[in-house]
Structure 1
Amino acid sequence: MDADGDDPRGVKRKAQEELEPPRRIRALHQDVVNKIAAGEIIVAPVHALKELIENAVDAGSTSLEILVKDGGLKLLQITDNGHGIDKEDLPILCERFTTSKLKAFEDLTSIGTYGFRGEALASISHIAHLTVTTKTPESSCAWKAHYAGGKLAPAKPGQSADPKACAGRQGTQIAVEDLFYNVPTRRRAFRSASEEYAKILDLVGRYAVHCSGVAFSCKKHGESGAGLAIPSNASTIDRIRLVHNSAVANDLIQFGAANEQYGFKSEGLVSSANHSAKRTTLLLFINHRSVESSAIKKAIEHTYSTFLPKGGHPFVYLSLEIDPARVDVNVHPTKREVNFLNEEEIIEIICDEIRTRLGKVDTSRTFLTQCLLSTKRPAVAGADSGADGIPLITADGRMTQRGPSQRAATQKPYENNLVRVDSRVRKITSMLPPGERASSPSKVTDEQAPENMEYVYTEKEPTICRLTTVKDLRAEVREDIHNNLTDIFAKHTFVGVVDDRRRIAAIQGGVKLFLVDYGMVSNEYFYQLGLTDFGNFGAIRFQPPLHLRELLRIAADHERDVSGDAEDMDWEEVVTMVYDQIINRRDMLAEYFAMEVSEDGDLSSIPLLMKGYTPSMAKMPNFLLRLGPHVDWNDEKRCFQSFLRELASFYVPESLPPQAKEGEDEDEQIASCRKQLARAVEYALFPAFKARLIATRGLLKGVVEVADLKGLYRVFERC
């Protein structure tokens, strides 16, 4: 059967047909060879930057500035302050296999630097326009050179290709422009500049975490702010906080492992079991080179599987130093992967150390759970869950599922256990404008509205308090915590102000009703707020400033009128003594408490503890006068404690006169103060108590239970 000439199937060759001679083997053109090698080493802009960063760190740099345009395809510039490049080395700088770190093949067994093959700059020069500006400490000027195809090239046609002298600072600046300009297929493969820039930020962040003592800065061309900025003196945890976030940095555990038999030592930071992410973040450095290892990643994820809930992943920063003779760094063209001896044994030792550290630290666990049905109570750590399908969290931290018999035993709660008012339910008053959120149904006039405060925000960096005395005072508050009362305030529902003269309000906690002395609670809250925000207070500024001596005299006159032993005390001497004490310590008051007093005695600001709430300024003269005899200025700890107590007392809402009886007209000013106070108590103070208050045992005196739904049901049953 004859075969059609267009048939793709093979046909039988006739004997008389002559064989086609084989193609001859030819050597590729050197330019093609160089472009193939460049395509293996420089796959994307991020790979070019990796090579440049490693060269800069090898050069002893302590500061790296990176500038990126169009994801690195248009411009990729890195500036360092290293030892620079000699002018004599510039002609062969971009030739292949030119390096200062490797002389013989045997040197590969002891390589201790990032780069060693001498292919990075050569590869870049074949697929981009490369400019190098460098200056050594011995040189009187900087030298600028342009490269193309691994050779020196003139900056413009007709000019000399030799390096040109120019002004410049010590170090090296390498500018890579129009990357892949002569490889259009590779250039078209990149989807977006923003995606490439994100990869660059990730790479810079990895080296910024690892390279302690080196400052990193990376930003887009044309933008004033940097996308990433790491100071040189930042610790490793601070670097992780700046690169990633504070949630990760606050849950890190330091660990280390070493073994002489396998010739390695490791150190790093891993997240505790309280941190869980959607994917694993592994910053792996082997002999200070950022690499990837699927074996290490899988082993670490398996280690964390017993500590994290299903779907949770850890954050791991691991620096592994292995004897260079045991490592083959020349496996991958981009040096992304390395091979080393006794890999399984080393990984097992590291994972065992991580498992041990997690077991020691995570004796207390925090879980966030959510009910499937709104009528069921949420799961609590250490207690069974009442919703079907919700995992049970046992006391030892393990999670199990409720069996069929346990689910059948779940009963509907009795009516006397139901909470009638839930603190999480939105109130209808929250939908009203602020001016209409009064206890009275009538509309509040402008005179009754709270005074309008103008807030000015500054860019002052928060101060980290490292004073041992303040830390001790904070610890004393934590040690005095009353857990049940703290839980009541954290979940309470505000009912209303009962008596503004005795400063009593009603709140609901669960199925119980409590009367609260909000004056006592406010005093404790503002004292804790002063300890928490120590050194970072806002300021209530007076324009014009107030005269300190006149304020003290006002307070002294008031004390003279109400004190029985006024004739036996020289109040002018008291005013002078307190005035001198405040003036002599005005620097400390300004630094720690934002209380600014000039040398002439002008008071320009006092501390602002809470936004949206202003203390009664009528109490300020007495507050200033009490700073003299009631503050221990000679002992640091007692000084801070007594000053913050006086400041908290100043911020406590004032006690108002009894409400006018029916048929009597109340003073307009007092009526306005009463409504402002009710508004501040409901919308400022008690929400703040719910968010931040640590209820101490001393507050038990100010909280009285007045009703219990279970008890009321018993009374009704007897009736």
Structure 2
Amino acid sequence: MENDASPSSPPRGTKRKADEMAGPRRIRALHQDVVNKIAAGEIIVAPMHALKELIENAVDAGSTSLEILVKDGGLKLLQITDNGCGINKDDLPILCERFTTSKLKAFEDLTSIGTYGFRGEALASISHIAHLAVTTKTAESSCAWKAHYGGGTLTPAKPGQSADPKACAGRQGTQITVEDLFYNVPTRRRAFRSASEEYAKIADVVGKYAVHCKGVAFSCKKHGEAGAGIAVPATATVKDRIRMVHSSAIANELIDFELANEQYGFKTDGLISSANHSGKKTTFLLFINHRAVDSTAIKKAIEQTYSTFLPKGGKPFVYLSLEIDPARVDVNVHPTKREVNFLNEEEIVELICDDIRTRLGRVDTSRTFMTQSLLSGGKTPSISKANTMPEQNTPTSKGQAQRPSTAKLVTQRPYENNLIRTDAKSRKITAMLPQARRPSSPSREPTSDGMEYEYSDKEATICRLATVKELRACVRENMHNELTDVYSNHTFVGIVDDRKRIAAIQGGVKLFLVDYGMLAAEYFYQLGLTDFGNFGAIRFDPPLNLQELLKIGAAQAKALEPEDPDFDWDEVVTAVSNQLISRKDMLAEYFSLEISEQEELFSIPLMMKGYMPSMAKLPNFLLRLGPHVDWNDEKGCFQSFLRELASFYVPESLPPEPAKGDKEDAEIAQRRDELHRAIENVLFPALKVRLVATRGLLKGTIEVANLKGLYRVFERC
């Protein structure tokens, strides 16, 4: 038999070029059946989506019990039975027509929608791609009514019979039976790999709603099996529902979570795991206005928050029910209503993460790890308890605070493009180089500042000043989560430029250049807030003359500023001296800055053991305490004083190292060597443990290399 197609015409489905087309193709309206199948394909992508729509309809109907039966992963049979209000017999003829609903009348109703469904597309979509049967009974009806649907309209149960609903026996509520899903869309049907995989997805959907829908009983089982895979009674609490759906190990480590904010019009409650729970992957149950949705932004932000508290690779369990003013939420942005948009998303996410961080820090004072002895004869692993969080408002003499300990429980072989040294304790190449400037004394520590320390019997005081607490809160509010994670897990690489105060650090598989002067200024300011009223003291023996120091500072400032014949620097020195002496009691109590009536300087604050600020900056520091500190306002005074103190403690800027062959001044060489050791062994380890990276530090952190990007470049070579 000869082919009827013309030899010159392209085969069906082949893309034609512009010069091959005889003319523009005519535009035709698609057949209604094609339109309905396309729409159904958007709403019902898999059996789990069909079940989600049916569960939401059942809960909207006021059901207190849902029974779900599944066969072949929902492709052969998907049945849900509820005890809700049922459907009126007169509504059955248009039940499966598109855009028929009892929950929406006008478009403006979308701004106050409070139900799961509202568009009337779920049953219509299912009826176009499956055989659908509905059995329903209302409280006023004397019997139940059963109807069959196909293509959105009533169809007879068997050929030759009437398509009208038939009376039958039944209990109050609705039973919806979906058979042979995607029977007329063979391509979609063949895309499903296994029935067990689809059933797992269905169980996940049922589990989410079983946890969230308080007062509703859920039962889900496979066809032919006696026991239910999921069984939750109506009287179970939320924590018990999590115990039944997930596990007791998770339920035992949950803490309550509640938060409300009138400014952004939302409130949320739920249960979040403590730091003692560490899963292989994040379990995140999110409901916005009681609708199960996905939010990558919220999930990533919460994972970032937990990364500070969990072992590396550990993931949390989070269940959140977020209620937002319906007028601020757009629910009609996704065909399956899987995603929603709402106003002030970033601000709301930030508030939630801050509260989670606070609750974890307040609750988790201990952690449980599995440890195993390496000695011969060890039989079983043991459980050890380790303190992971410092006690609240308890300062440390060294200015160090402990972050949560981390332990990696599962080790997986990384890909080659993730292989990189990240352990700061590893032996470095610098250890093989001759230590020309290292002190010869074997008893001196590498990070020693050459000073002698003694401990006083002064008891630590708890700061209850509202202004200091407000300044601490400002730091937390300005925190940048991702940058804090970079610094808390970084590896120090080396100092790049002494004059510009630039160092290189490694964060994961990325290399950064950082302004350690900016980092130190922020760190010492935060340290001043944390240890407020509990500073150590650097004592001078004999005491220093305050007037002389201020005069040196004035001479330095005068050399840097243009000549002004009307400006009297002697008056500045006198005014600053009088100001400091008049505030000497407050300076001694809060900042360990002791000055006598005779203008003698006995001590200045000690902020970090093992690190000595440059005393060449002392005159300028004291001089700036006059005009640059707000002495008339308590909060402004503490903030500006601590900023000046932090600036004094910032590592000094040194001249560039001389070229090879040139000799450097011995004093500068010694100071450079001591400063390098202090920055690497004292300052950056302290930043790693305690720094809260604020948004302002983004300007001082520049990514210069990414191993994965370099790996792709070399892979092509």
TM-score by length of 2: 0.52
How many angstroms apart in 2 are the aligned matches of 1:165 and 1:242? 38
After superposition, the C-alpha distances for 1:441-470 in whole angstroms (9 at most, x for unaligned) are: xxxxxxxxxxxxxxxxxxxxxxxxxxxxxx
Other-structure match for 1:155: 157
SS in 2 for 1:130: strand
Residues 382 and 397, structure 1, Cα contact 8 Å, conserved in 2: no
**44, 48, 57: which one pairs with 1:42?**
44
Distance 1:83 1:403, change over 3 A: same
Residues 209 and 236, structure 1, Cα contact 8 Å, conserved in 2: yes
Other-structure match for 1:184: 186
Other-structure match for 1:333: 335
Residues 383 and 395, structure 1, Cα contact 8 Å, conserved in 2: no
Q: Which amino acid aligns with 2:38?
A: I
After superposition, the C-alpha distances for 1:312-336 in whole angstroms (9 at most, x for unaligned) are: 0000000000111111111110111
**83, 102, 111: which one pairs with 1:109?**
111
Residues 288 and 319, structure 1, Cα contact 8 Å, conserved in 2: yes
How many angstroms apart in 1 are the aligned matches of 2:146 and 2:126? 17
How many angstroms apart in 2 are the aligned matches of 1:79 and 1:366? 44
How many angstroms apart in 2 are the aligned matches of 1:365 and 1:354? 17
How many angstroms apart in 1 are the aligned matches of 2:44 and 2:18? 47
Other-structure match for 1:316: 318
How many angstroms apart in 2 are the aligned matches of 1:11 and 1:290? 46
How many angstroms apart in 1 are the aligned matches of 2:111 and 2:208? 26
Other-structure match for 1:222: 224
Other-structure match for 1:397: 404
Residues 366 and 387, structure 2, Cα contact 8 Å, conserved in 1: no
Other-structure match for 1:588: none
Residues 381 and 395, structure 1, Cα contact 8 Å, conserved in 2: no
**187, 199, 212: which one pairs with 1:197?**
199
Distance 1:269 1:379, change over 3 A: closer
Other-structure match for 1:58: 60
SS in 1 for 2:368: coil
After superposition, the C-alpha distances for 1:130-150 in whole angstroms (9 at most, x for unaligned) are: 000000000000000000000
Residues 63 and 83, structure 2, Cα contact 8 Å, conserved in 1: yes
Distance 1:383 1:225, change over 3 A: closer
Deviation at 1:11, TM superposition (A): 11
Other-structure match for 1:659: none
Other-structure match for 2:84: 82
Other-structure match for 2:177: 175
How many angstroms apart in 2 are the aligned matches of 1:207 and 1:254? 19
Other-structure match for 2:276: 274
Q: Which amino acid aligns with 1:349?
A: L
How many angstroms apart in 1 are the aligned matches of 2:114 and 2:33? 31
Distance 1:369 1:176, change over 3 A: same
**134, 137, 153: which one pairs with 1:135?**
137
Distance 1:101 1:361, change over 3 A: same
Deviation at 1:364, TM superposition (A): 1.4
Deviation at 1:398, TM superposition (A): 3.4
Q: Which amino acid aligns with 1:114?
A: Y
Query: Within 5 Å, which residues of 2 pair with 1:550-565?
Result: none
Other-structure match for 2:94: 92
SS in 1 for 2:370: coil
Query: Within 5 Å, which residues of 2 pair with 1:78-477?
Result: 78-370=80-372, 382=386, 397-399=404-406, 403=425
Deviation at 1:397, TM superposition (A): 3.4
How many angstroms apart in 1 are the aligned matches of 2:144 and 2:406? 65
Distance 1:379 1:87, change over 3 A: closer
Distance 1:361 1:181, change over 3 A: same
Other-structure match for 1:516: none
SS in 1 for 2:199: helix
How many angstroms apart in 1 are the aligned matches of 2:347 and 2:368? 33
SS in 1 for 2:350: helix
Q: Which amino acid aligns with 1:318?
A: L
Distance 1:283 1:170, change over 3 A: same
Q: Which amino acid aligns with 2:28?
A: R
Deviation at 1:238, TM superposition (A): 0.3
How many angstroms apart in 2 are the aligned matches of 1:337 and 1:296? 12
Residues 80 and 175, structure 2, Cα contact 8 Å, conserved in 1: yes
Q: Which amino acid aligns with 2:340?
A: V
Q: Which amino acid aligns with 2:51?
A: L
SS in 1 for 2:270: strand
Residues 276 and 313, structure 1, Cα contact 8 Å, conserved in 2: yes
Residues 66 and 79, structure 1, Cα contact 8 Å, conserved in 2: yes
Structure 2 spans left out of the alignment, 5+ residues: 1-8, 389-400, 408-422, 432-441, 443-717
Residues 41 and 334, structure 1, Cα contact 8 Å, conserved in 2: yes
How many angstroms apart in 1 are the aligned matches of 2:15 and 2:92? 59
After superposition, the C-alpha distances for 1:60-107 in whole angstroms (9 at most, x for unaligned) are: 000000000110001000000000000000000000000000111111
TM-score by length of 1: 0.52
Q: How many residues align?
A: 393
Residues 255 and 269, structure 1, Cα contact 8 Å, conserved in 2: yes
How many angstroms apart in 1 are the aligned matches of 2:271 and 2:157? 48
How many angstroms apart in 2 are the aligned matches of 1:383 and 1:164? 69
Give the stretch that moved more between structures: 398-407 or 28-37: 398-407
Deviation at 1:128, TM superposition (A): 0.3
Query: Within 5 Å, which residues of 2 pair with 1:644-655?
Result: none
How many angstroms apart in 2 are the aligned matches of 1:128 and 1:184? 12
SS in 1 for 2:367: coil
How many angstroms apart in 1 are the aligned matches of 2:229 and 2:260? 36
Structure 1 spans left out of the alignment, 5+ residues: 385-393, 410-719
Other-structure match for 1:30: 32
Distance 1:160 1:355, change over 3 A: same
Deviation at 1:380, TM superposition (A): 5.7
Deviation at 1:21, TM superposition (A): 1.9
How many angstroms apart in 1 are the aligned matches of 2:229 and 2:310? 32
Residues 366 and 386, structure 2, Cα contact 8 Å, conserved in 1: no
After superposition, the C-alpha distances for 1:673-713 in whole angstroms (9 at most, x for unaligned) are: xxxxxxxxxxxxxxxxxxxxxxxxxxxxxxxxxxxxxxxxx
Deviation at 1:367, TM superposition (A): 1.8
What is the identity percentage for the equivalent residue pairs of Structure 1 and Structure 2? 79
Detail structure 1 runs of 4+ shifted over 3 Å in the superposition.
8-13, 369-384, 394-407
